[in-house]
Amino acid sequence: MYIVVTGAAGFIGSNIVKALSERGEHEVLAVDDLKEGDKFVNLVDSDIADYLDKDDFLRELGNGAFDGSLAAISHQGACSDTTETDGRYMMQNNYRYSRELFEFCVDEQIPYVYASSAAVYGAGPQFREEPKLEAPLNVYGYSKYLFDQYVRRNWSERSSQVVGLRYFNVYGQREQHKGRMASVAFHFFHQYRAHGKVKLFEGSGGYGNGEQRRDFVSVEDAVAVNLYFLDHPRQSGIFNVGTGAAQSFNDVAVATVNACRRHANQAPIKLIEMQQQGIIEYVPFPPELGGKYQSYTQADTTALRGAGYAAPFLTVEEGVGGYIETLLARASV
């Protein structure tokens, strides 16, 4: 019996595949679209049973090739580009794809854990899993919102576990292929290594320079939540995946720079010193993001904790610091 991971060569998907492999779960069917061939590196250190292109997987799924042979589906595959304007592509890739897998899992009575997003909440300011608080700002957020709504409308059809995970700002290993959509920690690291400084947005949304605040969550924690629900198939629902504590972009920059300084045997310095030394530079807020940008997010984790997930989440200082150390170790090889 296969565990299917879609988006298996992507950021969160490949980390889930790796975690399953590390705990001896070798009957993993990896599903992805490798038009961006460089993503293959995210799978080379994992033991998988088979790989299928997304389109081949959907075709075989529809033909009945997997009837009775799947143990669960972890659906991480999606277009996650929040600036994508092709709504037709976004809805096909994120909404219709998710629906087909939902309907298969309902028919087969197998667990279905899928990736939603904090983008469904839009400008906030409350981030609790309630429809009245959801107002996406872009078509990416809408595609995730619409599928969550579909799940809610069809909740009574559910015959086994269905879990939607609303990821907040995830950062960590195996995101190098994401380009401009990689985390700010990833970009800050490469900016600092190349130029000795990092660039943040000037103030927006009532926040000062670099003080826009997000719920930054490590990919290790995002994976741990996924595994928790796969291990507890009686738990269902839509849940936020975040630390529950918003931190500023300045905090991420400071954690990144100081991790690099430690690696170079230099003492850590504070935000004000980085600003005075020009290590942190503030650039104008892009006008094209006006009305489409979340200046503040903070997960309400009440539902997640109520479902029994009790593990602590890494802070920016802990998680980003460890991530940068990993990037530095790889850069020095």
140 is a catalytic site residue: yes
Omega before 125 cis (within 30°)? Answer: yes
171 is a catalytic site residue: no
Kindly state the tokens that stand for 49: 């049973």
Q: What are the Cα distances from residue 261, in Å, to 25, 111, 171, 196, 253?
A: 38, 45, 20, 11, 12
Spatial distance between the Cα atoms of 1 and 193, rounded to a whole number of angstroms: 45
Q: What is the three-state SS of the chain?
A: CEEEEECCCCHHHHHHHHHHHHCCCCCEEEEECCCCHHHHHHCCCCCCCEEEEHHHHHHHHHCCCCCCCEEEEEECCCCCCCCCCCHHHHHHHHHHHHHHHHHHHHHHCCCEEEEEEHHHHCCCCCCCCCHHHCCCCCHHHHHHHHHHHHHHHCHHHCCCCEEEEEECEEECCCCHHHHHHCCHHHHHHHHHHHHCCEEEECCECCECCCCCEECEEEHHHHHHHHHHHHHCCCCCEEEEECCCCCEEHHHHHHHHHHHHHHHCCCCCCCHHHHHHCCCEEEECCCHHHCCCCCCECCCCCHHHHHCCCCCCCCCHHHHHHHHHHHHHHHHCC
Spatial distance between the Cα atoms of 109 and 130, rounded to a whole number of angstroms: 26
Q: Which of 97, 112, 121, 140 is catalytic?
A: 140
Q: Which of 2, 51, 178, 292 is catalytic?
A: 178
Residues labelled as active-site residues:
140, 178
